[in-house]
Structure 1
């Protein structure tokens, strides 16, 4: 990395810190909304620029992991919190375990099965502060995390606060945990200025919206807001490069603290307490992974035979008969005549249904083509 590039990176990081401090000390109210909007837009732009520069300065080739199975789940956390032990408990992988930092220096893949769903579980090197700007091979690790279908944030009962630092690093890298994309549509135009259409629940001021758009050099556009967005959510909608990924907070080493301390930790939202060493809590974790991925099981019944209750077809919650038919083979949908369903989505056993019928978890389905 040249001295000019290094100084440029340092200048960006200094500017980021200055803006962060100014936002912290500025009270948020109607009078300051416009100023904070411009600051947050500039901050987001600088963070993205820092990430891009970190990518260019990295001499590593990155991690290449081929996705397999029904979903890919990534174990993320600081060094030495038990990611490798958990991977070894859950899968057929062998990830080195040692009581010192940075034991895992590469991505270790393993395969696990939950209720018939085949899941690829990845153990990545520990994330450290500044990872979103490329520190500690952070850029390579985050590139793997961005491609995940679910993230397991792992820490121990002794360092729970580190979870929040990791979440902040992921946020700064454009990863949004347990959120849906903002319901905002932006259509850029050649002329006409900024035209804002909103639903009655939107409270963000027009001047603030225009100031944020101006920071990204958007001067002519139609913007439609159907959600009461914050300034941060508006920026995410403008950039449209964010990744929205479900996640769980996993708190390891529950076997090393008292029952009173456990009760306190159980109050942490979206968390599961486990002991990767003893296996305690792993069954609950499996169930939370399955539901968090939005999976459901469909048992297929071939004509004239019993349903195969051992090998379910894994589909996303809300799937229709058309989705199932297409997953089996496109000819099933093309030559579809009708289907029959048994289970929670059926009005009666063996109900005759069409392609648009929405299925439920553990339905039994017969397709006639």
Structure 2
């Protein structure tokens, strides 16, 4: 029996096993085996060669446009950026990853028009593994759906999930530390619904013999396995609904109902027409906000405040992060900084490298000579 058959057998057994406290540990073991066999199959496929899509990440952040073939991704990236992606009225037009640069609010945001996914992409169909490997390197996923095929959303999310991409969620809060004796010791809060025996079985299934495991918050078996394997990518996502120009206003309630049915709040979806370039201003703004970018205006000695080309950082970044991005010897020569803006208690507040910056702060770094 081949690996693919073993994987299918495990999936069937998991689907047929009712989940309750008495079967929890068994399901945990099955899911652990499934995760390991999928990993083994992926490694075998990777070692077999093939052409990937090596894309150099540039700019302040990278966005992957994800959709099934001929949904309009190439038209959209051409409208958003200076890319020149081939456009056609047939499927599989984009055969390579086409990068373009979106310039917005002083930020340079790389947009990747990846080849259209097909069902089974995570298993390698249609070069899917290569495409998905590019998506894993992005900072944000923009799902592009046709207004007439909202059901594409769940299928796309499934393909990404199968390729170890976890969307719109945080990594599980779990600590696993290998030890040299005493077996597997589990410390977890009363609020954790998983049985301690289940946790130990999952760890053993992944080769742990001695370990200290700490679980401070409730989590599912799947999240436990994700935390143990520690090779998942956690990315935010937004949804753009294309071809909105092709529907009448009377049809909009039907579309909204389809969105809700597939787990999308209509207020969160961005209705666009890539062909007519409608709704793109809203999409640009949502991309910027979803990436959590902030603009820092540098106060340069003798030249004043540069508001034309801000230093672009991420929410939560500090003066130290600004020094690192500026490069040079700022880290070594740093003396102190002065900040004005929302993060400062007053204008020209003197701060150290640990000070957290806010959008549109003015920053002046004072360095030793």
Give TM-score scaled by structure 2 length.
0.91
Aligned residue runs from structure 1 range 281-360, under 5 A:
281-360=279-358
Report what 1:110 is aligned to. 100
Report what 1:78 is aligned to. 68
**Aligned equivalent of 1:362, options 357, 360, 363:** 360
Whether the aligned pair in 2 keeps the contact of 1:340 and 1:353 (CA below 8 Å) is: yes
Displacement, 1:202? 1.9
**Aligned equivalent of 1:157, options 122, 142, 147:** 147
Displacement, 1:173? 1.0
Report what 2:269 is aligned to. 271
Q: Secondary structure at the match of 2:39?
A: helix
Cα distance in 2 for partners of 1:169, 1:52 equals 17
Report what 2:83 is aligned to. 93
Cα distance change, pair 312–266 in 1 and its aligned pair in 2 (3 A):
farther
Displacement, 1:64? 1.7
Whether the aligned pair in 1 keeps the contact of 2:145 and 2:153 (CA below 8 Å) is: yes
Cα distance in 2 for partners of 1:361, 1:225 equals 35
Report what 1:255 is aligned to. 245
Q: Does 1:139 align with 2:120?
A: no
Give the stretch that moved more between structures: 321-330 or 108-117: 321-330
Q: Does 1:62 align with 2:60?
A: no
Give TM-score scaled by structure 1 length.
0.91
Displacement, 1:151? 1.6
Report what 2:210 is aligned to. 220
Report what 1:20 is aligned to. 11
Displacement, 1:138? 0.8
Cα distance in 2 for partners of 1:121, 1:54 equals 28
Cα distance change, pair 118–192 in 1 and its aligned pair in 2 (3 A):
same
Q: Secondary structure at the match of 2:334?
A: coil
Whether the aligned pair in 2 keeps the contact of 1:154 and 1:249 (CA below 8 Å) is: yes
Displacement, 1:83? 0.7
Cα distance in 2 for partners of 1:334, 1:217 equals 43
Displacement, 1:62? 1.3
Whether the aligned pair in 2 keeps the contact of 1:51 and 1:173 (CA below 8 Å) is: no
Whether the aligned pair in 2 keeps the contact of 1:266 and 1:273 (CA below 8 Å) is: no
Could you list the runs of 5+ residues in structure 2 that have no partner in the other structure?
A: none
Q: Secondary structure at the match of 1:337?
A: strand
Cα distance change, pair 68–349 in 1 and its aligned pair in 2 (3 A):
same
Cα distance in 2 for partners of 1:345, 1:172 equals 40
Report what 2:20 is aligned to. 29
Runs of 4+ in structure 1 over 3 Å off = 260-263, 303-306
Cα distance in 2 for partners of 1:205, 1:330 equals 52
Cα distance in 2 for partners of 1:340, 1:188 equals 44
Displacement, 1:136? 0.7
Report what 2:44 is aligned to. 53
Q: Secondary structure at the match of 2:9?
A: helix
Cα distance change, pair 199–283 in 1 and its aligned pair in 2 (3 A):
same
Displacement, 1:28? 2.0
Whether the aligned pair in 2 keeps the contact of 1:55 and 1:134 (CA below 8 Å) is: no
Q: Secondary structure at the match of 1:218?
A: coil
Q: Does 1:187 align with 2:177?
A: yes
Cα distance in 2 for partners of 1:266, 1:237 equals 31
Cα distance in 2 for partners of 1:64, 1:15 equals 32
Whether the aligned pair in 2 keeps the contact of 1:51 and 1:132 (CA below 8 Å) is: no
